[in-house]
Amino acid sequence: MNTPEVETIVPVALGERSYEIRVSSGGPEGLGRFARVALDATWAGRSCRRGLIVTDENLAASAKPFGDSLRAAGIATTVAVVPPGESSKSLAQASDLYDRLIELRADRHFAIIALGGGVIGDLAGFVAATFTRGVPLLMVPTTLLAQVDSSVGGKVGVNHPRAKNIIGAFHQPVGVWVDVKTLLTLPVREVRCGLAEVVKYGVILDAPFFAELEANVGPILAMDLATIRRIVARSCELKAEVVSRDEREETGLRAVLNFGHTVGHAIEAVAGYGGGFQHGEAVAVGMAAECRIAERLGWVGSDVTHRVVDLLERFGLPTSAPGLDAGALIEAMTRDKKNRDGKIRFVLPREIGRVELTDAAGVDDVRAVLNEWDRGPG
């Protein structure tokens, strides 16, 4: 891959809500300076002198140097620690954080700093979007999934007991500080889940990037930081480009990020959240299945499916989900947010690097692909 650079700055162009993603592997020291510049670029942030770092129990011990760096830049912080896991993405947890902000006499110039994975980013981001109708939000993502996906783009929210991500807002951060060094403590299963989203970017938008991933499986799995920094930065660039062209998912463009997710969300719903499949694993199976659906439509040849499946499997990700009921999965797909006029819509590949949102796949095509899972390795 390319010569390692110290840091990459990725701009997210959204008019007055524009911000920068800084991708480095240099530790937390520079966070304060980055935060100060990012905050100063906004009305609410300019007079920000205080903030709340929201993190979870697995990361609480590492919060101090981030707080020290912010203090040195004139931002005094306290830390709120929530339990790790999806169950913290709740209105009850948000309410506890509102209590904390009221105790701290937070006003509209008070910053929320989300230090953690996608759960923390979504929860803290939702609180930042709603407290006093919006306070500045700084994202400090510490999982690969959060670094390449959830910290960028402004989707924040919590779960309803009966529906995931159903209560939320669009609230762009003032900046995203990515330090890939934080990934060195991440469990390998979480790394793989993030890699599923990285593979997704290659398939939907960037064939040369997909080829780079194929050529660098070894250094990626060995967590070579220069390689990881490069793939995180490229993923952020691709997401930033999509978000800046369709911030609120209105034109259909942002929906391309949903490749693998129609089947993936159905797997999560049927297997049970927190059950056998983590989100990234379900998306990996979903991408393999959606390639096969595209094959049945004659959109791609088997070579495309083969490359996608091969790369996912080399990253240690599943590509089929035997044992799940096809009828229940299809029923779950009929509730997908992308659907129109009662038809299931999929984002399907036309080739590596190009996808289309479509309702061309019939239920019979989908069922045929799902039934293949029980007939052996796909």
Based on the shown chain and the rule CB under 6 A, indicate whether residue 281 belongs to the binding site for ligand GLY.
Answer: no
**From the list 153, 260, 280, 318, which residue makes contact with ligand GLY (rule: CB under 6 A)?**
153
The residues in 195-254 that bind ligand GLY, with binding defined as CB under 6 A, are: 254
Can 22 be counted among the known catalytic residues?
A: no
Residue type, 153: G
| Nearest to ligand GLY of 149, 281 (CB atom) | 149
Among ligand NAD, ligand GLY, none, the one that 185 touches (CB under a kind-dependent 5 to 8 A) is ligand NAD
Q: By the criterion CB under 6 A, which residues form the site for ligand NAD?
A: 56, 58-59, 84-86, 89, 116-120, 122, 142-143, 145-146, 149-150, 153, 155, 165, 182, 185-186, 190, 193, 279
- Residue 118 contacts which entry, ligand GLY, ligand NAD, none (Cβ below 5-8 A, type-dependent): ligand NAD
d(CA 120, CA 158): 10
| Nearer residue to ligand GLY within complex by CB, 174 or 240 | 240
CA-nearest of 222, 218, 86, 199 to 148 is: 199
CA nearest to 282, candidates 189, 212, 364: 189
Residue 301 burial (C-beta neighbours within 10 Å; 0-12, 13-18, 19+): exposed
What count of other Cβ atoms lies within 10 Å of the Cβ of residue 111?
Answer: 25
Stretch of 129-137, 147-155, 175-183, 187-195 contacting ligand GLY, by CB under 6 A? 147-155
- Total binding residues toward ligand GLY, as defined by CB under 6 A: 5
Instruction: Point out the catalytic residue in the list 190, 197, 212, 237.
Output: 197
Rank residues 142 and 305 by Cβ distance to ligand NAD and give the closer one: 142
End-to-end CA distance of the chain: 30
Q: How far is the CB of 258 from ligand GLY (least distance, A)?
A: 7
Residues 248-267 that bind ligand GLY (CB under 6 A): 254, 257
Q: Measure the CA angle with vertex 94, ends 93 and 100; round to 5°.
A: 95
Asked if 206 and 157 count as a contact pair (C-beta separation under 8 A), the reply is: no
Q: Render the burial of 68-95: b for 16+ CB within 10 Å, e for the rest.
A: ebbeeeebebebbbbebeeebbbeebbe
- 86 a catalytic residue: no
155 lines the binding site for ligand GLY (CB under 6 A): yes
Residue nearer to ligand GLY on the CB measure, 39 or 255: 255
Q: Is 331 annotated as catalytic?
A: no
Token look-up 């509209």 returns: 108
Q: Are 76 and 69 in contact (CB under 8 A)?
A: no
Does residue 306 contact residue 287 with C-beta atoms inside 8 Å?
no
Reply yes or no on whether 249 is catalytic. yes
Place of tokens 């297997």: 271
Residue nearest to ligand GLY (CB): 257
Choose among 372, 371, 203, 168: nearest CA to 284: 203
| 20, 212, 237, 249: the active-site residue | 249
Say whether 50 is catalytic.
no
Catalytic residues: 133, 155, 197, 239, 249, 254, 258, 261, 265, 279
